[in-house]
Structure 1
Amino acid sequence: MASNLSIGRQPLVFLSIATLVVLIAMLLNSTSLYPFTLFSNQLSYPYPKVTNSHTGVTYRGINVNGIEHFQNIFYAEDTSGANRFAPPVPYTPPRGTTVDATAAGAWCPQFVGGAPLPFTSPITNVSEHCLSLRIARSSATSASANLPVLVYIHGGGNALGSASDQLYQPDGLVSQAASDGQPVIYVGINYRLGIFGYATNKALVATKQANAGLRDQRAALEWIRDNIGAFGGDPGNIIAVGQSVGAMSIGLHLISYSGTKGVPFQKAMIMSGASGTNFNIMSDLVAGNTATVARSVGCTQNPDSQATVDCLRKVPLETLMNSSVDLARRTRPPFGELAFYPSYDGDFIPDRPSVLLRKGAFVKGIPLRGSWTTNDGAWYAQPTINDDASVLASFQTFILGLSQASLDRILALYPVSDFTHLVRPDEPATAQYYRAAQINRDLWFTCPVIDFTWQYTRFGGSKNVRLYDMDQTKFGPIFKYMGVPQWRVSHLSDVPYFFNEDVAAGGDNSPPQRALSALLSGSAAAFAHTGNPTTSRGKTLRDWPVAYPDQSRQALSQVYPDSFNVYVVGGPEGNGPATVSSRGAASSAREQALAREKLIERCGFINSILAEIGV
């Protein structure tokens, strides 16, 4: 049996802005320092129960303010011992079992200590017995409701996170959907992270055991398809939702097995990520990191051998976790993002995703909603950088294969003069910082989303593809309190709007922000019900256009789009649609603001060097 660990450890110290983030996050998790706190919820009794007539298993949950929660529902067996690194083994309790689903379970193994950010949860309880789900629904839901099912795959750089994190509380989403007359079931997934989810060597590849974290997600989606009907969900209307590497994972599911095995979902929402976010997918970086960790814990056999795998399976959880986390945080500070990540295995991932997309070798017929935030790349550079070398260094830690010609072209496409207008006297950031942030945003998030959705459209995936640019955040007061106001509408900014939840630790939970939350959250439920993100109230989001309306042969013959539609959420011009185009002048202030980002030209180049980026 896997042990549960509750370990207080000090994080590594890094000489960068990341140091400030981690240290202040730890301080802010002292409740006496929070400038604001959130009210506790009220429990209602009796405990709600759901019985699955097919399996004979009963789940006992809790009712919190009219939302029923069922947590720590295992979809697969303990992953310790012989199951470590192996594909998940589906699990169903014996018939007649009553499962206590009233409280969250352990997180999958990762760094244990203070919260990564002030508005996320401290990480205190981890175990290899972690492949579980949390389900939420309105208390009025019947077993015959047949509601759409929103399944959330969390982000965290394949290093951090859990469906139980306070950032992912589903109550507001479920409540808003019900009040809009478009109720949904919500499910959050836990999946293996770090070396536990993405260890690789030749032996694991040969036995089709690489990319365990992705295989976990698929197993969870299959469990949901097969069992969600008992909770009132529609197994034929499952919507996969992911943010950051969660979105990246959805892209990889769609190209998995070259599209030959389908996917256990019918719609998808990819927020700040796509398969192109998974850099260096063909490289030996993950195998090298696996070998380094193996040596550090005493597994000194041939690193590609089955003997190394067998040895690693016997290493105590805490030893393996600490060694792998330390390596990840040392090489990819501060959080260890993408030190272990999905890699080519000739099975689940049969080729580079960009190649498979351009072959049409993917699962078709999935309506897509993709997005990015205005400052998605804000975390990746120090605010005081003031030269080209520092701009390049901000992303070269993660993207390993760019030629000098490509680096020079990127600098030319993003002249520093384009970013001087972003400098503010009350923010400790240079024009070069904003330049680096924009390059990182486009490399990591915006251009991958545009390329994925365009190639998906172009090669027969779906005509129903929509995009949005998030230009609003609830984190502003927290970033000022942390001393990083230049982050502005950073990565993660759209997550609280999707969940329609207030932000802890002093976020902007003002009435205008709550109104915008209701609209964006409601649009997700509307997309789940109809494939159209217009909310039932329809006052602000009713003009959301499809991204690529020109479906002519001539338009679809283009390798990169020369125009697309995007819905802007928030920002100085307010909610509304805009066209990004290389043809003609921008016709509105919203379009003029987008035109300054030069997305057609910049993403056209970035998406032409995907072999160098390794996606």
Structure 2
Amino acid sequence: MQKVKLLTAVLACSLAVCGAPDQQPLTSVSKPPAPTVQLDKGVFTGVQKGNTQSFMSIPYALPPIGNRRFRLPEPYPVYEGYYSATSFKPSCPQQAMTMPGWLDNELKHALDKVVDSMYDHFTPDSEDCLTINVVKPADATPLSKLPVVVWIFGGGFQVGGTATYGDPSEKMVERSMQLGQPMIYVSMNYRVSALGFLASKEVRAAGVGNLGLQDQRLALKWVQKYVSNFGGDPSKVTIWGQSAGSISVSLHMITNNGNHENLFRGAIMQSGGPIPVAGVENGQVYYDDLVKRVGCQNSRDTLQCLRGIDFRLLQAAIDTSPNFFAFQGLVLAWLPRVDGVFLREPPQHLVLKGEVAKVPFMTGNCDDEGTLFAISSTNLTHNNHMRDYLRQFMLPKASDAQIDLMLRHYPDFAPAGSPFDTGFRNMLGPQFKRMAAIQGDIVFHSPRRFFLKNMADKVKTWSWLSKREKSIPFIGATHATDILNAFGTGELRDYIIRFVNNLDPNGNRGLGIRWPQYDLSKPQSLEFQDSTFFPMVIKPDDHRKDALDFMANISILHPL
């Protein structure tokens, strides 16, 4: 029971972004006047906390409601009048998270608590959600021309919102000022789940795929237009994301034939890269199910019919689609796919063609990325179960020989699985550690290594690996366990601040050791460890080389 309580506490903290316990909000004796900023003919009132000022939930697009549902975002018209930007408005509609019924009751109860803690931060939600937030040093003026970091939140393209990161973002700006490298922090809400990533032949024909990514792109254009009013320099923007946000960052680098349109000059990818996805038609089964559940199956124009459905009825139907805690794990129902507009080909194919924005970037992973998403498949007990799973979900078009090769690279031997380097410990089921290794590698580790191999000789890159929290029962250094290192008091935060300012994570001030640039002749990563004496070390980036190379190749041949 003690292990389950620990699992719950750590997961709730990592996924919901707990504030660092040793930092308290800054206060002052006399309350300063409310800060304001003018955009077009509009005046926005924000809030001041300590040495930072925040302007929350500024609309950057027209509400995607009514006939605008399932359409490309439209820029917000000229601002006029007075606006309150003193609190967060609703997140975009969230997809329900559910657990498989066969899970051990104690573990299921613990994970249910984790999901509840996530929703405490993401709700309330509303279709009217396309808003953007800005945190700035209090003394920044339109003449300051400070570098800008734009945060794209994660959540499996199914859940998430900017309100989760409100207080941590203020602390990050405060820290940048302490380092003498002040910056502006921006974050945006974007549509998730089916509302943001509907996929089908109908979606391709209408040109409305990847709406969540299109939302993000429009927000980046908003930054170009308005960030100077807050003291930012639109020519010094770095895009940064975690998980789905990190994947989004990589896709912004490869869309538009690699032309970044001067929207950003650097990128930071925290657990995510160019994922192996194919055409929107691969989501047809989920689209057809959604259409049927809301009664649009007999309509001549099912997409237009979906626009007219009562939102709560539509939401209830969306909630029945598989989420990332479902049996199929990271083979998601709603995620970016090749739509012919934002993505013209599978991401890996575009990388191999060199259609990538040539900007410096940082990229890293947690060691045990896949454990969280393998919990739902703990009922797999032997090799044939694993083979059937791969055939049904991950590699439906692969040959028997290719599946055999996958199973050889990921053997039925617990010490080879994830949590890595833990021997026979943490076996939630006979195939759990094996499945965790596969899930983590296909979506997170392999895309990172693949991206570095194809880009490190063209732009400056830096890589990291987080092995902290290895002691968490069952899941180890799982996905999202490095968020506190970035948003709390960890060393990664300082590296990020320096990169945003200098396009290089190194510097003479702040925590950290010298981080070598990634070199294909001698690839190295900065490793974060659970060690008092050596919390950070530089190590070769060669873990599971053959398996990750195989995973990259099979992904190119058989994208999801």
- Structure 1 length as normaliser, TM-score? 0.77
Of 327, 332, 338, which aligns to 1:338? 332
Note the alpha carbon deviations across 1:339-388, whole angstroms, 9 max, x for none: 11112221211111111111112322x10111000111111324686533
Of 289, 293, 307, which aligns to 1:292? 289
Q: Distance in 1 between matches of 2:23 and 2:118?
A: 16
Q: Distance in 1 between matches of 2:430 and 2:189?
A: 39
Q: Distance in 2 between matches of 1:212 and 1:316?
A: 20
1:548 partnered with 2:515 = no
1:232 partnered with 2:236 = no
**Residue identity opposite 1:574 in structure 2:** P
Note the alpha carbon deviations across 1:457-498, whole angstroms, 9 max, x for none: 35x4x1x0110001224x96xx6xxxxx22121100111211
Note the alpha carbon deviations across 1:424-463, whole angstroms, 9 max, x for none: 66x56467433332222211101101112222335x4x1x
Q: Which runs of 5+ in 2 are unaligned?
A: 98-111
Of 314, 318, 321, which aligns to 2:308? 314
Q: Distance in 1 between matches of 2:147 and 2:436?
A: 37
Of 498, 522, 525, which aligns to 1:526? 498
Question: What's 1:5 paired with?
Answer: none
Note the alpha carbon deviations across 1:510-561, whole angstroms, 9 max, x for none: xxxx4xx1x210110100111111244266322x1111254xxxxxxxxxxx
1:105 partnered with 2:89 = yes
> Are residues 300 and 424 of structure 1, via their aligned partners in 2, closer, same or farther at CA, if it must alter by over 3 Å?
closer
Q: Distance in 1 between matches of 2:327 and 2:48?
A: 40
Query: Does the residue aligned with 2:223 lie in a helix, a strand or coil?
Result: helix
Of 469, 478, 482, which aligns to 1:490? 478
Contact between 1:394 and 1:436, CA under 8 Å: does it hold in 2? no
1:394 Cα shift?
Answer: 7.0
> Are residues 470 and 84 of structure 1, via their aligned partners in 2, closer, same or farther at CA, if it must alter by over 3 Å?
same
> What does 1:46-445 correspond to in 2, within 5 Å?
46-52=32-38, 55-95=40-80, 97-111=81-95, 116-117=114-115, 120-122=118-120, 123-165=122-164, 169-260=168-259, 262=261, 264-276=263-275, 279-282=276-279, 284-301=281-298, 307-329=301-323, 332=326, 338-364=332-358, 366-382=359-375, 387-389=382-384, 391=386, 399-401=394-396, 402-415=398-411, 416=413, 418-419=415-416, 422-423=422-423, 427=426, 429=428, 432-445=431-444
Question: What's 1:609 paired with?
Answer: 554
Q: Distance in 1 between matches of 2:324 and 2:152?
A: 26
Query: Does the residue aligned with 1:69 lie in a helix, a strand or coil?
Result: strand
Query: Does the residue aligned with 2:321 lie in a helix, a strand or coil?
Result: helix
Query: Does the residue aligned with 1:546 lie in a helix, a strand or coil?
Result: coil
Q: Distance in 2 between matches of 1:547 and 1:431?
A: 37
Contact between 2:95 and 2:318, CA under 8 Å: does it hold in 1? no
Q: Distance in 1 between matches of 2:184 and 2:324?
A: 40
1:223 Cα shift?
Answer: 0.3
Q: Distance in 1 between matches of 2:317 and 2:482?
A: 33
- Structure 2 length as normaliser, TM-score? 0.85
Q: Distance in 2 between matches of 1:148 and 1:87?
A: 29
Q: Distance in 2 between matches of 1:405 and 1:295?
A: 37
1:183 Cα shift?
Answer: 1.2
Query: Does the residue aligned with 1:328 lie in a helix, a strand or coil?
Result: coil
Contact between 2:271 and 2:363, CA under 8 Å: does it hold in 1? yes
Query: Does the residue aligned with 2:235 lie in a helix, a strand or coil?
Result: strand
Q: Distance in 2 between matches of 1:398 and 1:171?
A: 41
> Are residues 93 and 335 of structure 1, via their aligned partners in 2, closer, same or farther at CA, if it must alter by over 3 Å?
farther
Q: Distance in 2 between matches of 1:396 and 1:93?
A: 52
Note the alpha carbon deviations across 1:384-414, whole angstroms, 9 max, x for none: 8653345557766752434332332222223
> Are residues 57 and 358 of structure 1, via their aligned partners in 2, closer, same or farther at CA, if it must alter by over 3 Å?
same
Q: Which runs of 5+ in 1 are unaligned?
A: 1-19, 480-484, 501-513, 551-562, 582-596
**Residue identity opposite 2:553 in structure 1:** S
Question: What's 2:109 paired with?
Answer: none
Query: Does the residue aligned with 1:172 lie in a helix, a strand or coil?
Result: helix
Supply the RMSD in Å over aligned alpha carbons.
3.2
Question: What's 2:103 paired with?
Answer: none
> Are residues 345 and 419 of structure 1, via their aligned partners in 2, closer, same or farther at CA, if it must alter by over 3 Å?
closer
1:226 Cα shift?
Answer: 1.0
**Residue identity opposite 1:525 in structure 2:** I
> Are residues 182 and 331 of structure 1, via their aligned partners in 2, closer, same or farther at CA, if it must alter by over 3 Å?
closer
Query: Does the residue aligned with 2:322 lie in a helix, a strand or coil?
Result: helix
Note the alpha carbon deviations across 1:177-226, whole angstroms, 9 max, x for none: 11111111111111001111112343432332221111000001110111
Query: Does the residue aligned with 2:227 lie in a helix, a strand or coil?
Result: helix
Of 471, 487, 491, which aligns to 1:499? 487
Identity across aligned pairs (percent)? 24
Query: Does the residue aligned with 1:240 lie in a helix, a strand or coil?
Result: strand
Q: Distance in 2 between matches of 1:290 and 1:126?
A: 22
Of 540, 565, 579, which aligns to 2:540? 579
Q: Distance in 2 between matches of 1:443 and 1:330?
A: 14
1:422 Cα shift?
Answer: 1.1
Say how many residue pairs are matched: 524
**Residue identity opposite 2:73 in structure 1:** P
> What does 1:16-27 correspond to in 2, within 5 Å?
none
